[in-house]
Structure 1
Amino acid sequence: MFLVVLIVLWCALFALWWNVKPRQPSPPVYPGALPIIGHAHHMLGGLSQLWQVESDVYRFCMENGGVTEFRLGPRSIYVLADLDDCLTVANTCFDKPYIYDFGKKLYDRGLVTAPAVIWKSHRKILNPAFNQQILNTFVQEYNVQARRLVTELASEAGKDQFDVVPYLKNIVLRSVYKTMIGVNPKDENQERIITDYGRALGIFYASMVERLQSVWLHLPVFYNMSDLKKRQEAVIKTLKNLSQTIIRIRKSELKQNLYSDSTKEATSGYKSMLDLLLDGGENQEFTDEEIREHLDTLIAASFDTTRVTLTFALILIGSYPDVQTRIWKELQEVLGGPEKDVTRHDLPKLVYLEAVIKETLRLYTPAPKIGRCSQSAVQLKDYTFPAGTTFILSLYAMNRNPVWGADVNEFNPERWLNPDTLPDNPNAFAAFSIGKRNCIGKHSAMKFIKTTLAYILRRYRVTGNIKNVQCQSDLVLKPIIGHHIGLQLRT
């Protein structure tokens, strides 16, 4: 009896202590959490519905102090929208959360998925490969592919609106392969490899999204028993084989000097990213498997993001005739007729076109979120989080922060032409991620997008309607309805 009384007394004292003890403030929880599963039910449904939920989480976060808790079963994920808190996490938490492990079998030590200690050393080695001198050598290839694109688009000119995505997919993939790998797209065997790789990459993306949505498959015990694992392993094997084939071809070409353009490239200073990675392998900086992982990562990181940025840019330009007219006038002043090549000296002069691209990236950030995991306690403005906390940094919310002004949700390229109209906080523009572990290829992406749009808009007048666009949350933000455009040949 005494023991029972003692236990009851202890429980009562513990309950009293629990209710009166000082506690750390907790961020607001996104509404709709259910017992046990949390918000996992919001992950179900189509990808367009998933984007509606995701964007609503960002809105709730912005309206409630910039930090929100989102629960996936027993896991808590903290969504950040506050500019300063996002920068704090970005520059103190370099490791990625468990969801990035879903791509590790393919990308492993690539820059996106690598643990912080590997990322730091590999990023330092790779940085010189993305300097301006090397990127400038890619511009001629961008011209070649952009010319090919406007020729292919001729069949759509003067007709009803059409889906431009397949055309952009092809040019981006060819350009990525040429500049990243150095292959010759005119070679039928290499062209087939490029096509097969693009198809397999699309299947792999779909499998990644399927696992992200199926919260129970986040647990290895269920994933290992699933049909998805078998399908994913098959497509990963295909992608690895294709990359390894390309690497072997390129190694052989460089060794035997059989590549038709090798002498020209040597004299012009052109080297593909693969060539630079292979140089690192010869210097024992990278193993063969690390070269393959970096190659696959660079292709994946540049392929979808560049394609969707071009898509959104064309829709927006087609939706605002005054903007399109101003771009065209700038192109005439800087470049003249549609046949002139775009040089590296021309690109900085296309100031208004760059403003349009930046405004496109601000409103329709291709990668709307990034994940980080803390290795030690993190102090934010209003909250302290322990080691092992998972954060989602909403780049989408940062780019739509109220610091952008009353017209934050409007397409206004002019804001980029006057520094006084831009936010004082330089972290407000987070289209290419934020902090030290940001996008290594942002400058090459801008050069490619500028060059491609310069060719399209000198040759064609574009029509579109951004108000009709509906988006989905894939691995990137992409339009799925209302994204068709029309083309009229300029005379």
Structure 2
Amino acid sequence: MEPHVGKGSFDHWPYLIHNSLETFCVGTFGIDAIDDKEFLQKYMDAVHEIVNMAMNRTIQFWTHNDFIYRLTGLKKKEDELVKIIHTMADVILQKKKAAMTNEVSNINSDFDTTETKYKPFLDHILELSKNGALTDKQIREELNTIIITGYETVASQLTFTLLQLGAYPEVQEKLYKELLQVLGPDRDVGKNDVNKLVYTNAVIMESLRTLISIPLMLRCVDKDVKLKNYTMHAGNYCIIFPLACDYDQSWGAHTDQFCPEKWLEGDFKDNKEFAAFGLGKRNCIGKTYAIVSMKVALAHLLRRYRVKADISKLKMKYEFVMRPISGHEISIEKRT
């Protein structure tokens, strides 16, 4: 983002989405970031397009018929996109297996020798495959799931968080002071630092409450649920809207305001209904990763730059994740 310093507003989304995917490669899979930028862009475009196709097919009931779906050419297009997505998983597996064969770790696993040794998600998956618990096809499916559902959601939430910090300079300065107190001006974030970033965590939680990247969740009702004026019967599906729940007055007064302090000592601190990552058995497997990843990104960005933004004209579109389509630019200034 350095070329944009002092040069007015710009779209920060492309920087965050690339960083999020590369971070996934290093932190979740334990491999070096993939150097082929053209392929990475092709992969991200394929994910974006196939998710939209799946959503459109859900709405356009006539395409539910496989014959019509093939006749329209959509099936052929889907197969091409799936091939690109599978290629990404294959590239990751090849890089990881090569590193393991050569007994070379592509990342520094010993961030702090006094703490638990870091083991990437992919290492656990490959260990399971040795015992026959997972086939190569299942491994690839697990990789596709964790990538597709992970990197874009984190980037989207960071996009919204930076917008809100830019629009609320007093909140940004409080966060900046905490970062300096815990980390100093330029030190990297260690594992022991994560839980010390209390106000940073409150900012992220408040961003998730007010501008969430996943605005709805689909669930199957496993037993009859009686509501005030309706009964949801077992075997049916329901849609949960976390954003609507999070603005409910049961949270307390002024739910429409961006106020991280309420996560520290106010109405939101112990609320058990917060559903940004889902609730119950089907809650998000990547919750901890997402929060830590956002803390690290904010720590590096906000110690280097002061962010400004105007969210009064923000417009968004739902495409599996909430994506800003206008009014989401930020400007940055170098901190001295």
Taking structure 1 as the reference length, the TM-score comes to 0.64
Correspondence for 1:214: 60
**3-state SS of paired residue (2:328):** coil
Output aligned runs, 1:23-422, within 5 Å.
153-185=1-33, 188=35, 193-259=39-105, 261=107, 269-337=117-185, 339-374=186-221, 377-382=223-228, 383-418=230-265, 420-422=266-268
How far apart, in 1, do the equivalents of 2:82 and 2:160 lie? 29
Contact map agreement 1:177 1:194 (CA 8 A) in 2:
no
1:205 counterpart SS class: helix
Residue 282 of structure 2 is aligned to residue 437 of structure 1: yes
Paired with 1:166 and 1:203, the residues of 2 have a C-alpha distance of: 16
Change (3 A) 1:296 1:442: same
- Once the two structures are TM-superposed, the CA of residue 425 in structure 1 deviates from its matched residue by 4.8
Q: Flag the structure with higher helix content.
A: 1
> What's the CA shift string for 1:348-382, capped at 9, x where partnerless?
1221111111000001121111112235x513234
Name the amino acid aligned to 2:25.
Y
1:286-305, Cα deviation, whole Å (9 max, x unpaired) = 11111111111011111111
Q: Give how far 1:462 is off.
A: 0.3
Inter-CA distance 173–426: structure 2 relative to 1 (3 Å threshold): same
Q: Which runs of 5+ in 2 are unaligned?
A: none
Taking structure 2 as the reference length, the TM-score comes to 0.91
Structure 2 distance, partners of 1:442, 1:308, is 14
RMSD of Structure 2 on Structure 1 (CA)? 2.2
**Partners of 1:434 and 1:260 in 2: how far apart?**
35
User: 1:251–1:218: structure 2 CA closer, same or farther, 3 Å change rule?
Assistant: same
Deviation at 1:440, TM superposition (A): 0.9
Q: Percent identity?
A: 35
- Quick check: 1:471 aligned with 2:316? yes
Give the residue type in structure 2 aligned to 1:359.
E
Equivalent position to 2:296, from 448, 451, 457:
451
- The size of the alignment, in residue pairs, is 332
- Whether the aligned pair in 1 keeps the contact of 2:30 and 2:106 (CA below 8 Å) is no
Partners in 2 of 1:214 and 1:396 — Cα distance? 26
Return closer, same or farther for 1:378/1:225 CA change in 2, 3 Å cut-off: farther
Distance of aligned partners of 1:237 and 1:482 in 2 relative to their CA distance in 1, 3 Å threshold: same
Q: CA deviation at 1:269?
A: 2.6
> Structure 1 pair 437/293, CA: closer, same or farther in 2 (3 Å)?
same
1:413 counterpart SS class: coil
In the alignment, what sits opposite 1:62? none
Q: Kindly tell me: are residues 482 and 274 of structure 1, through their superposed partners in 2, closer, same or farther at Cα, counting changes over 3 Å?
A: same
- 3-state SS in 1 of match to 2:312: helix
Q: In the aligned structure 2, how far is the partner of 1:294 from the partner of 1:465?
A: 39
Aligned match for 1:460, one of 291, 305, 308: 305
* Structure label with greater radius of gyration: 1
Query: Is residue 164–residue 311 contact of structure 1 (8 Å, CA) maintained in 2?
Result: yes
Q: What 5-or-longer segments of structure 1 have no aligned partner? A: 1-152
